[in-house]
Amino acid sequence: MARYRGPKQKKARRFREPIFGPSKALERKPYGPGQHGRSRYSRKSEYAIQLEEKQKAKYTYGLLEKQFSNLFKKANAKTGVTGEILLQYLESRLDNTVYRLGFARTRRQARQLVSHKHIVVNGEVVNIPSYQLKPGDVVSVRPKSKTLDVINDSLQHAPTTKYKWVEIDKKSMSGKFLNMPDIDEIPENIDVQLIVELYSK
């Protein structure tokens, strides 16, 4: 299972955003890590700004470099606005949808639930975190996994935020991926145009 295993809070401070969830470290030190983290005079090149935005998206959704590059190529080959399609592909990943439905508190946790075969799609067990959902797909917790504390605790403490492209039935521990989200509905602070410009070089 490919994933970033390094220090999460260091990355959150680097991007100055809680990309892995609530971050006490970022609240205490709202600046970049290292001896130059506090510098006010560091000027970034256009390339550096574009690269940082791509890295932020990559770490936010838990992809490695090759995975992200392949997903961009897939989005670029499709008719439409490349940046919006890229975000839609990222949001329609199974692990991300499990996270959005509230079955897991973080995307890392969601990826683990999928990999350990606790999640079913349309009645079939799917253990591939990158599985691309289609509108109408039903995502639910496997019957024998419904007693897991980690899932019940997550549902109990799930944020009240409702996403327009998914619906959740907490009682049955199931949800539906309704449609691909519009770019303005996605809460992540990612400037996809910068990513498109980076890959267009």
Cα–Cα distance measured from residue 80 to residue 17, given in angstroms and rounded to the nearest whole number: 29
pLDDT digits 0-9 by tens, 96-135: 999 999 999 989 999 999 999 999 999 999 999 999 999 9
Cα–Cα distance measured from residue 125 to residue 117, given in angstroms and rounded to the nearest whole number: 6
Cα–Cα distance measured from residue 2 to residue 5, given in angstroms and rounded to the nearest whole number: 9
Binning pLDDT at 50, 70 and 90, where does residue 1 land? very low
Q: 3-class DSSP state for residue 169?
A: strand
Binning pLDDT at 50, 70 and 90, where does residue 159 land? confident
Q: Where are the alpha helices (DSSP H) in the chain?
A: 8-15, 24-28, 46-61, 65-76, 82-91, 94-101, 107-115, 149-156, 192-199
Q: Which of 140, 133, 65 is nearest to 102 (CA)?
A: 140
Residues 6+ apart with CB under 8 A from 93: 61, 129, 130, 131, 132, 133
In contact, 57 and 193? CB cutoff 8 Å: no
pLDDT digits 0-9 by tens, 163-195: 999 999 999 999 999 999 999 999 988 999 999
Give Cα separations from 194 to 17, 48, 188 (angstroms).
17, 10, 15
pLDDT at 42: 64
pLDDT digits 0-9 by tens, 64-91: 999 999 999 999 999 999 999 999 999 9
Q: What domains appear along the chain, each with residue ranges and CATH number?
A: 8-89+190-199 (1.10.1050.10), 93-179 (3.10.290.10)
